[in-house]
């Protein structure tokens, strides 16, 4: 798939800020300076962009693209081994999300859904049959890469947990007695169910899962996330927790403790491994009830943070993974590492081609690269305060997302505004829900179309983009869309606090 660049436009931006602190082992951690009131970036001639596209549009599209990718993989694609939830489980879930089935808003289990117990490492996201949105069985993919990896499974589990939390936000999706949002609350129940099955499969059949250091670290993050979510009496921005499950919380917590002990015996050597490893340790330290484990995790975060600060970065993705890990270590244990994170942000800034939304040193971008870069820019906006040029970061945040994800065709398709959304969710500006030049699934290629997911990669040759639309990388896509939902960290927080 080749995409040619159209005509120029201008950007505008908005800024957010947040800061979290902890004081441990004598490291004096200073709050990141407040980033509110950052200067506005100048207008930039991003070739082919939509007029007035800005960081807010990128944030909101990230939310929706995250949702499209997740639902397509986990409930529609069949890209793995499926399971059939017991009828009693489905009925109980329906009753939990809708206390008044006679108010005109009733949850209906989707026809032909294919919830996954084992998730394949990749696949071909072309649709195998003509698309019928009312029947998820028509949304199966042409084929899958039947390898099973810890990395792909872990990032998918995290994604399901994070969207389960999002579907639980009372102000967005209501409560069981509301007359709106029942279907979304029901999908949240499905997102909370699948990680249980997937972690059980990982625990029971370890030989099936190809391992890597990055995968082991991502799984520690996933287990820590689940242990926290299932144990909570109430979720953020909610008066309750419909997913509360002490037995599952205990299973996740025990597995997380064992995984943590295994992680302590590892020796990361690459920027990617260090970046993900530090993130995982922060999630574990934020969720474990074991003081000794928390202390040991913090010590290791500090050690790996200093190792990461000394590691040379060659590519934009390297700089991005470094930013993500250094921000986590800096805001958690050693504030001097925030200065090192800012150094990598400056390197990205100096390498950025604002006319095309790319970095001059790199023409090809994988889904994982994009997730790392957007996650790093988001973390910088939130936590680096006056250490960075906020105008430049906002420009990169909006421009890189629009340039690579949208104009570059990394998001292969996007459904019409009215599809897979409740009427109350369609009141946002259309640009928040889909980019106008992104094809709808049936028109995206192949005999029957392409699912609304991220491509494996896209490449810029100076005048046009070429997209790999026949390969879906589960780990890369799930990592990316986790970072996309964490643009909204005031609702779904991808930067947990260590008590």
pLDDT digits (tens, 9 = 90+) for 109-164: 999 999 999 999 999 999 999 999 999 999 999 987 899 999 999 999 999 999 99
The domain locations on the chain are 2-488
Give the contacts of 97 (CB within 8 A, at least 6 positions apart).
107, 176, 182, 185, 186, 188, 189, 242
Mean pLDDT, the chain, as a whole number? 91
For domain 2-488, the question of CATH label 1.10.10 is answered with no
pLDDT of residue 417: 86
Distance CA 450, CA 72 (A): 11
pLDDT of residue 44 exceeding 90: no
- Smallest CA-to-CA distance from 237 within 465, 418, 47, 493 is with 493
pLDDT of residue 46: 80
Confidence of residue 28 (pLDDT cuts 50, 70, 90): very low
Lowest-pLDDT choice from 41-50, 204-213, 262-271, 283-292: 41-50
Lowest-pLDDT choice from 51-55, 156-160, 277-281, 294-298: 51-55
Q: What order of strands is seen across the sheet that includes strand 364-366?
A: 2-4, 464-467, 457-460, 364-366
pLDDT of residue 33: 33
Of all residues in the chain, what percent carry a pLDDT higher than 90? 85
């Amino acid at each position: 798939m080749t995409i040619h660049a159209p005509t120029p436009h201008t950007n505008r931006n908005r800024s957010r800020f947040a800061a979290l602190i902890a004081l441990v082992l004598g490291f004096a951690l200073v709050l990141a300076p407040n980033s509110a009131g950052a200067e506005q970036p100048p207008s930039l001639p991003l070739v082919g962009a939509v007029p007035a596209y800005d960081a807010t549009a990128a944030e909101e599209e990230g939310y929706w693209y995250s949702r499209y990718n997740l639902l397509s993989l986990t409930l529609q694609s069949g890209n793995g081994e499926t399971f059939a939830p017991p009828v009693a489980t489905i009925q109980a879930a329906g009753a939990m999300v809708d206390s008044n089935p006679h108010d005109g808003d009733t949850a209906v289990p989707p026809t032909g859904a294919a919830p996954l117990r084992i998730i394949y490492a990749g696949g071909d996201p072309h649709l195998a049959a003509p698309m019928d949105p009312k029947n998820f069985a028509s949304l199966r993919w042409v084929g899958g890469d039947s390898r099973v990896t810890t990395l792909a499974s872990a990032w998918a589990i995290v994604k399901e947990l994070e969207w389960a939390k999002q579907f639980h936000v009372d102000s967005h999706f209501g409560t069981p007695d509301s007359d709106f949002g029942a279907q979304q609350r029901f999908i949240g129940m499905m997102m909370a169910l699948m990680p249980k099955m997937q972690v059980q499969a990982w625990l029971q059949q370890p030989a099936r899962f190809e391992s890597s250091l990055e995968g082991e670290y991502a799984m520690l993050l996933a287990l820590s996330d689940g242990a926290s979510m299932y144990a909570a009496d109430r979720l953020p921005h909610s008066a309750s927790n419909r997913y509360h499950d002490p037995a599952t919380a205990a299973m996740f917590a025990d597995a997380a403790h064992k995984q943590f002990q295994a992680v302590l015996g590892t020796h990361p050597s690459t920027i990617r491994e260090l970046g993900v490893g530090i993130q995982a340790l922060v999630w574990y330290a934020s969720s474990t009830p074991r003081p000794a484990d928390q202390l040991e995790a913090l010590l290791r975060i500090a050690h790996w943070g200093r190792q990461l600060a000394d590691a040379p970065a060659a590519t934009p993705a390297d700089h991005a993974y470094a930013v993500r890990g250094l921000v986590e270590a800096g805001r958690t244990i050693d504030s001097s590492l925030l200065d090192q994170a800012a150094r990598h942000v400056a390197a990205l800034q100096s390498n950025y081609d604002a006319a095309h939304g790319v970095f001059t040193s790199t023409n090809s971008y994988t889904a994982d690269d994009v997730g790392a870069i957007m996650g790093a820019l988001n973390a910088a906006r939130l936590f680096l305060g006056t250490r960075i040029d906020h105008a430049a970061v906002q420009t990169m945040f909006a421009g890189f997302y629009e340039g690579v994800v949208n104009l570059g065709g990394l998001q292969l398709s996007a459904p019409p505004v009215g599809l897979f959304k409740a009427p109350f969710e369609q009141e946002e500006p259309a640009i928040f829900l889909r980019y106008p030049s992104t094809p709808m699934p049936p028109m995206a290629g192949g005999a029957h179309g392409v699912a609304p997911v991220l491509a494996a990669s896209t490449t810029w040759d100076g005048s046009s983009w070429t997209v790999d639309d026949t390969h879906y990388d589960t780990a890369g896509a799930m990592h990316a869309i986790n970072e996309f939902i964490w643009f909204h960290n005031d609702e779904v927080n991808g930067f947990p606090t260590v008590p």
